[in-house]
Amino acid sequence: MAGRGDPPEGTPEGFPGGGEDEYRSVVFDEAFIRAAHLQEFSAQERMGDHARAVRSRPSWENRTGSRQAVLLVLLILLAFGTAIYLGVRNPYQPPADLRAEPLRTTVVPLAPRGTVPGGTPAQLLAHSPAAEYRSGAAGINLPVAGRTSHFAESQVVTGLGIAKDYLVASSLEPDVLSGATVRPARLLLDPDQLEQFDRSVEAPADDGRHALAAWLVRFDPRQVALAEPVARVQGTLRYEETGPDTLDVTADHTYTYALRPAVRGSGPVAAASLFTVHRVVHFRFDREDLRMHRAELLTSTAEAGPQACGADTTGSLKPLLAGTRAADVSDGPAATDPYATARPAAPALCGVLAQSAQPSL
């Protein structure tokens, strides 16, 4: 019989010695097998330091983002080029800047026919047409405003408000009345009129352009002092659209001031007297004026008395105070009542102060 290590058919032919001794050199014993350590390397480890042979293609997201960036740049360039083209070829031109016209000024002194009445401010006001007038800015009332064809209601209200601010600054501000400053009125003027205004302050003239008394009310502090700090005021404000880009406001008010001679020394206080100024101011506003809160003055007329006809009233007004009188004016022009508003101004260089405009003590 064959042994356990032999094939069933015995030792194959052609393999001398039975073959077992021939493979003995490649047989691993049990100790070698137990000591062997098998390790499976990953694909990255098997690749080692070798780089890939081909370049990786960008992902779909990267390609989409690049295309969007290129398209955005092209759109910006296209829009920019279109804007330039339209700016060159478009026949529309923006409206020209509306420059303010020079102010036309008129100052008419009103001379009394008799002696100027005197008394306390309360007595004089109580017996004058100004008895029912309101004090200060409260006497300048804004009308009910509405929209026009080209201006919204809010723009109309703004124009009326600017006109009122100028009237207060130029006719009621104590420092302006006393000659201490002109700044409150100047700040509200269109820049195109500042040179004319400054010349009117520095060198007033009776030339229809540079009468300071048409810009504001001012008394010579060396001669006159306010006996009552707040004037009495009454009048109206009207508005109308005069063009697609211009809104006009007309202010027609009468201001009554209580005055007395400037104090000299410590003597008794002199009697007060009333001085009346009827002002008609025509304002014009364009859209830039409304936005910048400033006014353009077209015309301004001031009738003021009691004053002497020969007095230079282009600068500071020169009131005749209590107990004084003007030269004989009995043969002068018809009497003018400065309390009668909504009428044309006196055309003469000097008018006569109506007796009804004086306090009836």
User: What is residue 71's predicted lDDT score, i.e. its pLDDT?
Assistant: 80
How many C-beta atoms surround the C-beta of residue 162 within 10 A? 20
User: What is residue 72's predicted lDDT score, i.e. its pLDDT?
Assistant: 81
Of 287, 297, 288, nearest to 152 by C-alpha is 287
Q: Cβ(243)–Cβ(226) under 8 Å?
A: no
User: What is residue 78's predicted lDDT score, i.e. its pLDDT?
Assistant: 82
User: What is residue 33's predicted lDDT score, i.e. its pLDDT?
Assistant: 58
How many C-beta atoms surround the C-beta of residue 150 within 10 A? 13
Q: What is the token pair recorded at 282?
A: 């025509």
User: What is residue 112's predicted lDDT score, i.e. its pLDDT?
Assistant: 92
Per-residue pLDDT, averaged over 105-114, amounts to 91
Q: Which amino acid, residue 338? A: P
94 pLDDT tier (thresholds 50, 70, 90): very low
Per-residue pLDDT, averaged over 176-189, amounts to 96
Kindly report the backbone phi and psi dihedral angles of residue 27, in degrees, each rounded to the nearest multiple of 5, phi listed first: -90, 125
Q: Which tens digit of pLDDT belongs to each residue from 125-171?
A: 999 999 999 999 999 999 999 999 999 999 999 999 999 999 999 99
33 or 251: which leads in pLDDT: 251
Q: Which tens digit of pLDDT belongs to each residue from 233-277?
A: 999 999 999 999 999 999 999 999 999 999 765 567 789 999 999
39 or 155: which leads in pLDDT: 155
Top mean-pLDDT range of 15-29, 61-75, 282-296:
282-296
Q: How far apart are CA 138 and CA 135, in angstroms?
A: 6
**Can you spell out the DSSP letters for 92-150?**
--PPPP-PPPPPEEEEEEEE-SSPPP-B-HHHHHHTSGGGGPEEGGGGSPPPPP---SS
For residue 2, pLDDT beyond 70: no
**Can you spell out the DSSP letters for 256-307?**
EEEEEEPP-TT-PPPPBEEEEEEEEEEEEE-HHHHHHT-BEEEEEEEEEES-
Top mean-pLDDT range of 37-46, 217-226, 267-276, 335-344:
217-226
Q: Which tens digit of pLDDT belongs to each residue from 281-333?
A: 999 999 999 999 999 999 999 999 999 988 788 889 999 999 998 876 655 56
Top mean-pLDDT range of 10-24, 182-196, 315-329:
182-196
